[in-house]
Amino acid sequence: MERRQFVTMVGVGVVLTPLAGCSILSGEAVETPTSTGTLTETRTPRTRGSTESPETTETSSETPDPTPELQIAETPTSKFPQPEMGEPIIRNQPEDYRTVEIGSRENVDTPVVGHANGPFHLHIFRYTPTDVFYEIQIVDLDADAVLRHEGFTIPAERALHIVFNEPSTYALNLYDHDYDNGWTAGIEKDRFDCNFHRSNFFALDGGDFRWNTLSSRADC
């Protein structure tokens, strides 16, 4: 009888004995060794019998082209000639990559689309599928003020969408740094009516620009 009790107690002692490297019943943290080695090169294992050298990864040291400096003078005027209107007529416009709002519809008496004083939409892109950098200056000629002046990198087959929310007379001056020339899109105040207007302001090969507008014809 005494022997059985002794065996039982020994078994309990085995269960409660902490395993090596652990601290089950103490409050001390257990630290796990961490490797401090630095990996300096990654090699692709050779296949048995292969004579090829291990692959190495090269890091390009090229830097991106710097953003061109802005060239348009900070005066609230039209700066360049207006592009010709007409062919090609753009009926399937490229998707917008970015939309820029000029003014706010909250400042308009009738801000609901379909009534007088509706917004005017302008899309700027290159007709050929090429990334392009354009310097753009937006002038409110009635207010004699430059509203925005910055550079935009427009991706290939995408358009910069500019929404003119408040009726006024505007000039959008565009400088094409690739061809060292400029163009101005004039937007008259009577364009802000109850019709929908989508104007396209785009470059052809050689730096020439075109300007055409698709509009609804509701009697406002």
Looking at residue 196, its pLDDT comes to 81
pTM listed for this prediction: 0.68
pLDDT digits (tens, 9 = 90+) for 167-185: 999 999 999 999 999 999 9
Strand, coil or helix: what is 120?
A: strand
- Residue partners of 207: CB distance under 8 A and separation at least 6: 176, 178, 179, 181
- HSE-up of residue 108 (Cα within 13 Å, Cβ side): 21
Q: What is the rounded (10 degree) CA torsion for 108, 110, 115, 118?
A: 10
Cβ contact 184:171 at 8 Å: yes
Going by their DSSP bridges, the two strands 158-164 and 120-126 should be labelled as antiparallel
Looking at residue 189, its pLDDT comes to 92
Ranges of the chain whose pLDDT falls below 70: 1-66, 111-115
